[in-house]
Structure 1
Amino acid sequence: MTLEDWIAVPKDDGHGLELAEGVLIVTPQPSQRHEQAVLRLAAQLEPQLPITWGTLRRAELVVDSGPVPTVRLPDLLVGTEAGIEDNLPRWSPEHVCLVAEIMSEGTRRTDRVTKLDEYAEAGVENYWLIDMDDPMSLRAFRLMADRYENLGRQTGRIALPLLNSSVTIDLPALTGRRTAGQAG
């Protein structure tokens, strides 16, 4: 498929549609636990971001617009507020500072290997890979030149570099029960 062919494909909210080197990829609907983790990650990140950046769930990211294009649908991306206000139908890497993927049984290898290389080649500054197996962990990657530097696997409540600052993520809270002190 070309990028124009991709744009013409009707999107189905029940499944994840991606384009990998011109080939349509269909992934099953994420589990409820997976979706909860994505929403809670966004809720933790959003108030810590500068006002010029915001979080988006499952937004199209054009990793390669060439003759055999690749368009990914990351679980979460942090993009420019201007792009959000413009309601971009798909994002280019220069307007994105973070992509986060929460690994599922059917996506582990793609998230750990393929997307790691694709996002680095595209110039996405930060890539977070979250594993929901107990204990929940996050492996952070930061772009150095044209390759990702592995910042290590972390668990618990962690601080990570992002946008010339630091953000704190409480990993157990992404899927754990809410406590009496939480809103709701």
Structure 2
Amino acid sequence: MTAAMVEPGRSAGGRAWEYLLQSWRELDVPEGWRAEIDGGRITLVPPPHRHRNGIAERVQRALYAGLSPEWGVYQTLGVHIAALGKLYVPDLVVAPSELVEGVDADVSDPLDAAEALLVVEITSKGNAEDDRKEKLWAYAHAPVPVYLLIDRFDEHGPTATLFTGPENGAYRHTERVAFGEALKLPEPFSVTLETEHFPH
């Protein structure tokens, strides 16, 4: 559902981006929904399926097992790539706690995606292609050091793919496993995701 749109032909930078960002801040989003900015418009994303929440909970629990205290794992945290005119609300974001918890309670600005250490997207039927292509491209440009894509709707069966080493708008390294296989996350996480119990 489109909540706001800028005039055609206006760039992602400058006044158009500020207009979108201010509109995003002021939105009264229904509980459980998320508002994202992409392609010059704000869209509302419906609440995720229970299976998606189940996967997010398992990943979050695994991350906390190997994460140092100065980093937090956050759900529904907006991250933006202002240069591209994009603002996403990933399923999970690992970011410095001070950047999330140390801000004024009245400030609802998104986190610069470049400040994130890891972003996790878990596909649903309606957004799988966006997570595989558009968001992959945007996170590499941010750059987000590690992007974890958990794809329950991969045409070859459910998979988890780890993208690392962003350079010039693309990730240099990719590791992909089918559900049921283990996926080791790089430093500083020092954890292995056991995907065999991911619901799908």
TM-score (ref. length: structure 1): 0.84
1:38 aligns with 2:61: no
* Deviations 1:101-142, CA, capped at 9 Å, x for gaps: 011100111000000111111111111110225854211111
Partner-residue secondary structure (3-state), 1:123: coil
Give the aligned residue type for 2:174: L
- Name the counterpart of 2:14: none
Q: Which runs of 4+ in 1 moved over 6 A?
A: none
One of 108, 116, 121 as aligned partner of 2:128: 108
Give the aligned residue type for 1:43: R
Partner-residue secondary structure (3-state), 2:144: coil
Give the distance between the partners of 1:128 and 1:2, measured in 2 at CA. Answer: 27
Partner-residue secondary structure (3-state), 1:71: strand
- Name the counterpart of 2:184: 159
Q: Percent identity?
A: 25
Give the distance between the partners of 1:93 and 1:15, measured in 2 at CA. Answer: 20
Q: Is the 8 A contact 1:139 1:150 kept in 2?
A: no
TM-align CA RMSD: 2.2
> 5+ unaligned residues in a row in structure 2: which ranges?
1-18
Give the aligned residue type for 1:71: L
One of 106, 114, 119 as aligned partner of 1:99: 119
- Name the counterpart of 2:15: none
Q: Which moved more, 1:134-143 or 1:166-175?
A: 134-143
Partner-residue secondary structure (3-state), 1:40: helix
- Name the counterpart of 1:61: 79
1:83 aligns with 2:99: yes
* Higher strand content, 1 or 2: 1
1:16 aligns with 2:40: no
Partner-residue secondary structure (3-state), 2:186: strand
1:170 aligns with 2:185: no
Q: Is the 8 A contact 1:45 1:55 kept in 2?
A: yes
Following TM superposition, by how much is the alpha carbon of 1:34 offset from its aligned partner in structure 2, in angstroms?
A: 0.8
Give the aligned residue type for 1:120: A
Give the distance between the partners of 1:138 and 1:149, measured in 2 at CA. Answer: 17
- Name the counterpart of 1:149: 172
Following TM superposition, by how much is the alpha carbon of 1:38 offset from its aligned partner in structure 2, in angstroms?
A: 0.7
> 5+ unaligned residues in a row in structure 1: which ranges?
177-184
TM-score (ref. length: structure 2): 0.78
Q: Is the 8 A contact 1:38 1:174 kept in 2?
A: no
Give the aligned residue type for 1:131: D
One of 132, 138, 155 as aligned partner of 2:160: 138
Number of aligned residue pairs: 173
